[in-house]
Chains A and B, each alone.
Chain A
Amino acid sequence: MTSTGELKAFARKASGLTRVVSAKDALTYNINSTGMAYALVYASFGAGIYLGLDLAGSILPVLLLNIPIALLYAYFSIAMPRTGGDYVWVSRSIHPVLGFMGSFMLSVVLISWAASCPAWTLQWGIAPILRGLSVVYNDPGLITLADQISSPIAVQVYGLISFIAVAFVIARGIKFVIKTQWVMFVIILVGLTAFIVTVVQAGPATFQQRFDSMSGTTMKQVISSAVSEGFWSEVTVSGIFLGMVYSFLNTVGFNFSVYYAGEVKDVRRTQFISIVGAIALFCFIMWAIYSTIYYGFGREFWHALSYIFNTGSASYTLPYPAFPQFLIIYFTTNPVVITLVGLSFALSAVVVQIVNPFIVTRSIFAWSFDRVVPTKLAELDRRYNSPYIALILVIILLMICQALWLYTNWLGYLSYGITGLFISVAIAGLAGVIFPYRRKAIFEASPAIVKGKIGSVPVISILGALTFIIAVFVIYATLMPAYIGTINPVYLAVLFLTYIAAIVIYAASAAYHKKRIPLELTFKEIPPE
């Protein structure tokens, strides 16, 4: 039999397409996009809101449920390695208006989340460092400083400066964005490692002794207060399943490399490593953090403390939130460790503050290319090849959203944003189901891995169906009363209004172009026959 090597193709000297973002870069970017150290905060939210949840135990189901989504996004990105991600796949496989709706919702949510990042950086990242150091150096002035930098006006001033800095980073183009990601990835990882090592080394006995003597309350008191207010610590199946929503929330971002897939080198290898690798590694990081918290604080105490903190109970007497970066002081007085742990959280917020607007500018750029929004928004800066008008728009929106976040409760109306994101994931799932049938040519031209079948059913269709089912579960869980306290019809209406806004924008644009070149021609396939 003729060997594969003997049948090798003849190549001639010709110019070549060169894709360039490496697997390592994309992996780092995707892990960073999750906001790695946010797990510290979600450990409190999850434990406090979902009674019966086992944080560490929820990670394996989260990983397993994310695998079909990760594979679907990787498969799609390999089949259609284009910048724009699910906007492109959904537009091509189902309809452009659905692609735009999903992308618009993602952008709105990412902007609203990025708007809160300056506050998270200062209040939950830098303030715990100052509070910890005030204990180490016995300097009450540092507590005053922590309070001052946590004030709305300080957060706003820092926010305005940092948003301009973010614009500078994004305007320098993807290579500069990825460079900053690498630096922050290393610091965050060092900070989280310092947290884990310190807590494990000091152990629960040290924590109990120091907490009971320094905090003004005791572990027993915290637990008994919580129990008297309805808390229980037994693990329940429903607690695990509903509590997983928060872990899901924390994993949003692990597949963001699909949004710049047009710049990814060796897309088959890179997207698998970066997407599947990111969710696996990040789940491991979350598991390590949650397990460390359970070991150091004790599961019952951690859940009880989180419960009275998150329910706003009067029995919560600590002068700061029930987050590990504040409580690290009960494990160590090492100023370097205290600083590194706080810094890991602060930088996670900074990373999200860069990643989210970056993805939004890419999305706006893609819409503008398809003329759903004015083409002016796709104008590139000559020096750095960055869509500067889209970027200016995003930065202005961030500044407005930050003010809304600080001084009004308007962004609360987007509490169902995560629901919206998973509606978009569900739509991407549907696109996966029908892709091999509606876009047969692209499917057939895809690399062999994408064209795999189980029996006669394409694997990508199976992944699409699984993704759809999982997304529907998450949508259901985020709509459960426990998620934001109660089902708020106004919040729900805002979610649907966001989609309506997307439809209105698309319809207005389609009407404008109808007498010229219709929008729907963008992704319509020309029959070759």
Chain B
Amino acid sequence: MANLRIFFTTDIHGSERCFLKFVNAGRFYKANVLILGGDMTGKLIIPIVERNGTYLCELMNSQMTAGSKQELRNLEKRIRDSGYYPYLTTRGELDELRAAPEKQDRLFSQLMCESVKNWTTIAEERIRGTGIQCLISPGNDDRFDIDHIIPRSGYVRNPDGEILQLDGDHEIISLGYSNMTPWKCPRDISEDELAAKIETLTARIRDSQTCIFNMHCPPYNSGLDMAPQLDQRLTPVLAPGGAPVMIPVGSPSVRAAIDKYQPLLGLHGHIHESRATTKLGRTLCVNPGSEYSEGVLRGALVDINGNKIDDFLLTAG
């Protein structure tokens, strides 16, 4: 049986630095397969306004300036590396955007799509001819607008909602949906809907012994899904001592599927602070966590030999 080395990362939330590291990870780690497990789009637009030949913006509570085109390019790069979208605009447009949330929303979609398109091009250029497969799937935070931008075939592809053959022996099923979160993200759905989508995919698996589940949402109560309990205002619920109440927030449907099919490997993300690995029966489940805002790419390297996991390592590269 063939050997596979998989590098898996997730939740980079727009950080261009993390994405560039991701596409270089194949050669760096000698991996055959690269998987980006969802939540690739950013959460903030940083407006940059030109005033008397100087470009101004606010980044991480600090006012930043760029005095030349070159400095502007450096500033934009820095914003993108941090996971945000730079947007060069005017005072007038800024006022319009502030007044019209639907325009902000359209702008987000536009910038996300431009960014994902650019990333896909970079990935194709860097991976072409290396023999490395690169799977980039959306997560619950990612809008549906980006789905058509990543090709459905080729060496850089979007595997969401499909079963792919990685080699002669190993299949991978991918699903970016998650159970409902307090933020009601684009791909948050009910447990029943999630269970139905999982069942549709798992019903077509040839051999669960060698199959990989690439599911953005971690299995419920697995140690990969511990997050602070939040109240209606989305602030953490505190115990009498002032400490947060941590609860499992993963999906029971994902858990049930893993318990039932016992795949070789479960690749998950979604809960940044729950970096962990665990064994559910014979299945190794991994959540590498996320450190995207610091430009650190957290990932998992997994060596697969047939129907066995030879070795694995959580990385912070």
Enumerate chain A interface residues (CB-CB to B < 8 A): 1-2, 4, 6-22, 24-25, 79-80, 82, 92, 173-176, 178-182, 262-263, 265, 369-371, 375, 378-380, 382, 385, 441-442, 444-448, 513, 516-517, 519, 521-529
Contact = CB atoms under 8 A, between A and B. Distances in A.
Contacts of B21: 525-528
B301 to A, nearest CB: 5
B295 A378 contact: no
B243 A178 contact: yes
Interface stretch (B148-156, B179-187, B207-215): B179-187
A428 to B, nearest CB: 18
Contacts of B82: 445
15 contacts: A10-B108, A11-B43, A12-B43, A16-B183, A24-B242, A79-B294, A82-B291, A92-B316, A175-B246, A180-B241, A181-B241, A442-B296, A447-B60, A517-B301, A522-B314
Contacts of B20: 528-529
A521 B301 contact: yes
B136 interface: no
A100 B185 CA distance: 40
Contact of B294 (A80, A174, A370): A80
B196 interface: no
Given A82-B291, A517-B313, A523-B316, A10 B57 contact: no
Contacts of B194: none
B62 interface: yes
A286 B17 CA distance: 47
A72 to B, nearest CB: 18
B314 A15 contact: no
Given A7-B47, A18-B230, A441-B17, A522 B315 contact: yes
A181 B243 CA distance: 11
Contact of B81 (A14, A445, A521): A445
A14 B183 contact: yes
A113 to B, nearest CB: 25
Nearest to B310: A516
Contacts of B290: 17
B218 interface: no
A522 B313 contact: yes
A20 B56 contact: no
B258 interface: no
B283 interface: no
Given A17-B273, A446-B294, A524 B317 contact: yes
Interface string B284-295: 000000110111
B256 interface: no
Given A10-B104, A13-B184, A445-B81, A182 B242 contact: yes
Contacts of A92: 316
Of all A-B residue pairs in the complex, the 10 with the closest CB atoms, nearest first, are A179-B241, A175-B243, A516-B311, A20-B244, A528-B20, A526-B21, A380-B223, A10-B45, A526-B317, A7-B58
B164 interface: no
- Chain A contact residues: helix, strand, loop or mixed: loop
Contact of B105 (A12, A16, A175): A12
Contacts of A370: 313-314
A385 B226 contact: yes
B177 interface: no
A78 B252 CA distance: 35
Contact of A8 (B5, B58, B183, B313): B58
Interface in B35-67: 39, 43-47, 49, 51, 56-58, 60-63
Interface stretch (B22-30, B113-121, B167-175): B22-30
B97 A10 contact: yes
A175 B226 contact: no
Contacts of A16: 183, 234
B228 interface: yes
A182 to B, nearest CB: 5
Given A15-B140, A523-B317, 4 more contacts: A15-B141, A179-B242, A182-B241, A370-B314
A445 B295 contact: yes
A16 B242 CA distance: 21
Given A179-B241, A529-B20, A18 B104 contact: no
Contacts of B45: 9-10
Contact of B236 (A18, A181, A447): A18
Contacts of B303: 516-517
Nearest to B314: A369
Interface in B263-314: 270, 272-273, 275-278, 290-291, 293-297, 301, 303, 310-314
